[in-house]
Amino acid sequence: MFQTEQIRVGGFDSNFSYLVRNGTDCAIVDPCGDVEKIHAAWNAAKSAIPFLKSTYILLTHSHADHVSGISLVRRFFPAPVCASRFTPLRCDRKLDDGERLPLGEGFLECLLTPGHSPDSICYRTSDDSALFTGDTLFVGCCGFCRAEPMFASLRRLRALPDCLTVYSGHDYGEFPSDSLGRQKRVNPYLSAETLAQFRERLRHLE
């Protein structure tokens, strides 16, 4: 069973990092902000599950506020850094669309979702419990973007199961996380039906 811990790491602008584990495998998504908080969450998880392994460090994209903690996190969590194959950063593993990263008995599916940045990527847990969306999809809005690729990326996310919990890169919404099903109904960027409508709605993005 996958378990996700959302960590308020502060950082540049109410950033989130995540600890996601399944069995004895564990990944950190977006190592950034106050790394001591990530360290504390890791220590607590390890004391609950003694053989917990540091399996991956996953980046949702290369913007500085999401990757600022890589070197500090690697001191206590020595795992390969994985990112989209379009990342401009040096990393250990470059991920393709649809690639499956084994985690415990399940996997994380990689979805390349350009728009906010060319290297934006989302990660979906194979039990459909969690979707890590970085700055592609926020609770209630989406990241600054180029309209055309973002519209296509959001349409892909919209096709995923309602039961997924959206875990984004910043705490910008009315809740820190929400079900994808609810976001499909209430998020005007996710619910846009046409590119023209999406472009119109983007004009209201602050």
Q: Minimum distance between the CB of residue 63 and Fe ion, rounded to whole angstroms? A: 4
Of the candidates 137, 122, 144, 116, the residue with the CA atom closest to the CA atom of residue 179? 137
Burial call 15-34: b when 16+ CB within 10 Å, e when fewer: bbbbbbbbbebbbbbbbbbb
**Residue 170 binds to Fe ion (criterion: CB under 5 A):** no
Q: Minimum distance between the CB of residue 32 and Fe ion, rounded to whole angstroms? A: 11
Q: Indicate the residue whose CB is closest to Fe ion.
A: 63
> Looking at 14-22, 70-78, 102-110, 131-139, which segment touches Fe ion (CB under 5 A)?
131-139
Q: Minimum distance between the CB of residue 21 and Fe ion, rounded to whole angstroms? A: 25
> Looking at 26-34, 80-88, 134-142, 146-154, which segment touches Fe ion (CB under 5 A)?
134-142
d(CA 22, CA 135): 24
Where would I find the H helices in 49-98?
64-67, 70-76
Q: 9 or 26, CB closer to Fe ion? A: 9
| Size of the residue set binding Fe ion (CB under 5 A) | 2
Q: Are 69 and 32 in contact (CB under 8 A)?
A: yes
Q: 63 or 124, CB closer to Fe ion? A: 63
Q: Minimum distance between the CB of residue 151 and Fe ion, rounded to whole angstroms? A: 18
Q: Minimum distance between the CB of residue 144 and Fe ion, rounded to whole angstroms? A: 8
- For residues 57-86, which are near Fe ion according to CB under 5 A? 63
30, 119, 135, 178: residue in contact with Fe ion (rule CB under 5 A)? 135
Q: How far is CA 25 from CA 32, 44, 128, 157, in A?
A: 20, 15, 17, 25
In the chain, count of helices (H) and strands (E)? 6, 12
Of the candidates 150, 142, 155, the residue with the CA atom closest to the CA atom of residue 193? 155
> Looking at 55-63, 79-87, 92-100, 193-201, which segment touches Fe ion (CB under 5 A)?
55-63
Q: How far is CA 38 from CA 18, 48, 50, 51, in A?
A: 8, 15, 17, 18
Q: Are 101 and 107 in contact (CB under 8 A)?
A: yes
Q: 108 or 121, CB closer to Fe ion? A: 121
Q: Give contact residues for Fe ion (rule: CB under 5 A).
A: 63, 135
